[in-house]
Amino acid sequence: MLDFLKTPGKGVNLKKFFHLSGFKIALLLTLVVLCIYYLDPKLLALIELKTLDLRFLSRGKVPTSEKVALVTIDEKSLDELGRWPWPRTRMAQLLDALVKEEVGVVGFDIVWAEPDENSELKSLQAVKRKVAELQLMNPELERYLAQALRNADSDRILADSLARSQRAILGYFFHFTPQETSGHKEKGPPEEPPNLTTYNLVKFTSEEAARVSLFEAAYPAANIPVLSQAAEGAGYFNIFPDPDGTVRWAPLVIKYRERFYCALSLAVLQKYLDNSPLGLRIAEFGVDQVRLGNLSIPANEEGRLLINYRGPQKTFPHYSATDVIHGRIPPTALREKIVLVGATAIGIYDIRVTPFEHVYPGLEIHANVIDSILQGHFLYRPNWITLMDLLVVIVLGVMLGAILPHLKAHWGALLAGGLFLSVAVLGKYLFEALGVWMNLTYPSLNLILIYLGVTGYRYMTEEREKKKIRGAFQYYLTPSVVEEMLQNPEKLKLGGEKKDLTVLFSDIRGFTSISEKMTPDGLVKFLNEYLTKMTDVVFKYDGLLDKYMGDAIMAIWGAPLDQPDHVRRACLTALDMVEELHRLQKKWSAEGMPFLNIGIGVNSGLMVVGNMGSDRRFDYTVMGDSVNLGSRLEGLNKLYGTNIIVSEMTFERVRDEFWVRELDLVRVKGKDQPVKIYELLSLVKTASPDQRALAEGFHAALAEYRKREWDKAREAFQNLLARFPHDGPAKLYLERCQTLSQNPPPTDWDGVYTLTTK
C-alpha cells in the first residue's frame, strides 16, 4: 500500500516535499522576473507608466507656490475680441496690460514665425511705392506715410511692446523629422535665430561625453527676428508624449547645431530668478546635471524632467485675456508672478493627455514644470531605486515561496493580496513623501507569477497524490476520512512513528467447523455478507480497516489521521458489531444457515504505526506489544464465553461512558506484567437492569473469590447462574472455585490467571 510514498520504516513528510518544490518554483520565477526587469519590454514599461498615473490620482491635488498664473485666450476672449489668430497689436495691448499689473515675467506659449502681413500695411506700402514712381514725394507726405506705416506695422508694435516690458520670454519649437524640414534642406541650413536661450555653462566630463546622443533637432521654427531681438529670451515648448500618448516628461535640453537649448519653462524661470546662469553637465551615459543658479534639477540621462503634476487642470489660476485687457481682474492678482500666456479655447489650443485628465491644456503643463522647480518638489528615480526595485522583487519571491506552499489556495491569495497592498503602500509613500518613483509592476508581476505557479504546481501534484491516496485507502477507510485526508494532507502521517492508538480484533468462533458444512459458493457468500456488515460498522466510526485475516478483522483508530476520541470510537464499534451480529443471526436462522458467534478484543496504548513490509511490498499497519495484547484479548473470549473483552488501558479512558464488568487479572503468554480485563456490556446510559444486576452480582462473587473464600464465592456464582444460566464467566469461575477448594493455591497467590496458550 502506498508504495509511492516512501520505503518501509521511513516516513514521508508531504509538507516538506511541497515546501521544497514550491520554494524552488518561487526562486525560478523570481529569477525570470529579474531577467525581464533587465530587458524592460515595452508592454511592462507601459503598464508601469499607468501605475504612475494611478499614484497621481491617488495622491490628488497638492499646494502650488502661488507664483504662477495663466492668462488664457479662451472662448470668452474670442467672443469679445474676435477670432484667432489675433492681430499682433492685440497681443501688444495684452502685454502692456500685464506690465501695468506689475507681473514678474511673461512667457508666451505662442510662436510668431511669419511676419504679420495685414491689408492696411500692404496698401500703405503700395502707396509709398507708387508715390516714389510718380516722384510725388514731399517732406510732409513722406512724414505722413512713415507715421502711417509705423502705425500699421503690427510686428513693430508688438516688438516695441516686448522691448518696453523687459520681462517677455517668447516660445518656439523645433522640427525633428526630415519631412518637416525638406524645404529648408533645399535652401541649406539657415542662420541661427537670435535671442534663443541656451545653456551658457556646458561641461563634458570626458571626450566620450561630447558624443552622447541627446534630442537633436533638425530646424527651429523660431519667431521672426524683429520679435526675437526685442524679447528677453526664448525657449522651446516641444513636448514628447510617452508611447501611450500621455505627457509625463518635460525635455529640458535639445541639441541643435552643436549648441544646447533650454525649454520655455527654464527660460522663464531664468528671467524670473534674475537671469541666474543655466548650467548643463554631460557624462558618458547622458545628461548628468541641469542647474539653474544654485538649484539642481533632476533630469534623466536624456535631459528630461519627470513632471510632478500639481493636480488637474485649473490647479493654477486662469485669467481670461479679455479680462486682463479691460482691467477686470482683482488688484494685485498677477503682481510679481510668472504669467504664461497661451490659447485654451476649444479648437485652437494644444490638447494633451496627462495622468490627471485626457483633455489638458499644454500651457498648464509648462506651469506645472515651473512650479515644481520653484518649490524644489521633484519626482525622480535615483540611482539606488533600481537596487530597491530588485530587492523588493527578491524579498517578495523568497517570502511567498517560503510561506505559500504551506497555505491553501484562498489563504495564499490573501497573502499575495496582502503583500501586493504592502508594496502599493510602500510605493505610494515613496511617491508622496520623498518624490521617488518605485517600480510596482515587477513586484506585482512576481507576486502573480509565483502565486499562479506554486498554486498550479501544488494543484497538479496534489491531485496526483490525492488520486493515489484515494486509491490506496478507499477500501480501508470511510470516504469521509479519505476526503479529510485529501483536504488536509498535512494531517497525514505515513512514516513510522510511535503513537497512542486503539486496535480492535474480531474473529468468528468455530469458523473451521462451520465452513466444513458449507459449499464453497455458500461459504464465500456467507463470509462476504458477514465481513461487509462488520466493515460498515468500522467505517461508521471512521476506523482504519487494517486487514482481513480469513474470517478475522483488524481495525485501528487514531491513524493515519489523529482522533482524540479513538478509544471511544473503538468501543462503540465493538458494541455495534455485536448488535449487527444479532441481526445477522436472526436472518441466518430464518434462512437455515448455521449459528455463529464472534469474539472481539480491544486494547489501547503506544504502537508503532507506518509503512511496514519489504522493499517491494509493504502495508500501512501497526506493531508492538499493545497490538499483540489486543489479539490475545480477542482469543480470551473463548475461555470466558464472552463477546467483547477490553483491557484496563482501554477501560480507564472511557469508564464514565461504558458499562463493564471486571473479568479477571490475567498474565498473557509472552508478558510478565498482569493485565486487568473487562467485558464491555453497553453504554452506561443504555445499560439494562439485567446487565447492571449481572455486573454487580459478578463483582460481589469475584471479590469473595479473590479473598480465597471458595465456598462463599461458589455460592455467589451459583446464585448468579440461577438467574443467568448461560453466563460464561460465572460458569468458568464456578469450576475454578471447585478446583481451588480441593487444591488451594499457595499463600502468596495474587489472583492472577496465567495463560499458557495464545
pLDDT digit string, tens, across residues 705-750: 999 999 999 999 999 999 999 999 999 999 999 998 888 888 888 8
- 220 and 319 together in one domain: yes
- What would the pLDDT profile of 621-679 be if each residue is shown by its tens digit? 889 999 999 999 999 999 999 999 999 999 999 999 999 999 999 987 767 789 999 99
- 289 and 248 together in one domain: yes
- 93 and 218 together in one domain: yes
* SS3 label, residue 398: helix
- Per cent of the chain over pLDDT 70 is 84
Q: Which of 633, 654, 675 is the last residue of a domain?
A: 654
- 43 and 123 together in one domain: no
CA 598, CA 552: separation in Å to the nearest integer? 9
Report whether 195 contacts 233 (CB < 8 A): yes
191 domain-assigned: yes
741 domain-assigned: no
Q: Which of 313, 347, 375 is the last residue of a domain?
A: 375
- 442 and 500 together in one domain: no
pLDDT band at 194 (very low <50, low <70, confident <90, very high): confident
- What would the pLDDT profile of 556-576 be if each residue is shown by its tens digit? 999 888 899 999 999 999 999
pLDDT of residue 182: 46
* First vs last C-alpha separation in the chain: 29
pLDDT of residue 187: 46
pLDDT band at 133 (very low <50, low <70, confident <90, very high): low
Residue corresponding to grid cell 518637416: 180
- 455 and 572 together in one domain: no
More confident residue, 329 or 620: 329
Bridge partners (DSSP) of residue 507 are 599
Q: What is the CATH number of the domain that holds 518?
A: 3.30.70.1230
Q: Is 469 a residue whose pLDDT tops 70? A: no
725 domain-assigned: no
How many domains are there within the chain? 3
Full 3-state SS string of 439-492 = CCHHHHHHHHHHHHHHHHHHHHHHHHHHHHHHHHHCCCCCHHHHHHHHHCHHHC
- 215 and 361 together in one domain: yes
Q: What is the mean pLDDT of residues 698-707?
A: 93
751 domain-assigned: no
pLDDT band at 541 (very low <50, low <70, confident <90, very high): very high
Global confidence as pTM: 0.64
- What would the pLDDT profile of 577-635 be if each residue is shown by its tens digit? 999 999 999 998 888 888 889 999 999 999 998 777 665 555 778 899 999 999 999 99
CA 606, CA 582: separation in Å to the nearest integer? 33
- 413 and 543 together in one domain: no
Q: Which of 345, 375, 405 is the last residue of a domain?
A: 375
Lowest mean pLDDT among 71-75, 170-174, 517-521: 517-521
- What would the pLDDT profile of 340-384 be if each residue is shown by its tens digit? 999 999 888 788 999 999 999 999 999 999 999 999 999 998 888
More confident residue, 327 or 483: 327
DSSP string, 646-686: EEHHHHHHHTTTEEEEEEEEEE-TT-SS-EEEEEEEEEGGG
Q: Is 13 exposed, middle or buried (0-12, 13-18, 19+ CB in 10 A)?
A: middle
Q: Is 754 a residue whose pLDDT tops 90? A: no
519 domain-assigned: yes
730 domain-assigned: no
Domain limits for position 26: 14-61+381-468
pLDDT of residue 613: 65
- 280 and 184 together in one domain: yes
* SS3 label, residue 498: strand
pLDDT of residue 467: 64
User: What average pLDDT is seen over the chain?
Assistant: 86
- 344 and 458 together in one domain: no
More confident residue, 194 or 454: 454
pLDDT of residue 596: 86
Bridge partners (DSSP) of residue 253 are 262
Q: What is the mean pLDDT of residues 188-196?
A: 65
pLDDT of residue 12: 46
755 domain-assigned: no
Q: Is 176 exposed, middle or buried (0-12, 13-18, 19+ CB in 10 A)?
A: middle
DSSP string, 524-540: HHHHHHHHHHHHHHHHH
More confident residue, 596 or 163: 163
317 domain-assigned: yes
- 276 and 421 together in one domain: no
What is the DSSP secondary structure assignment for residue 12, as one 8-state letter?
-
- 318 and 386 together in one domain: no
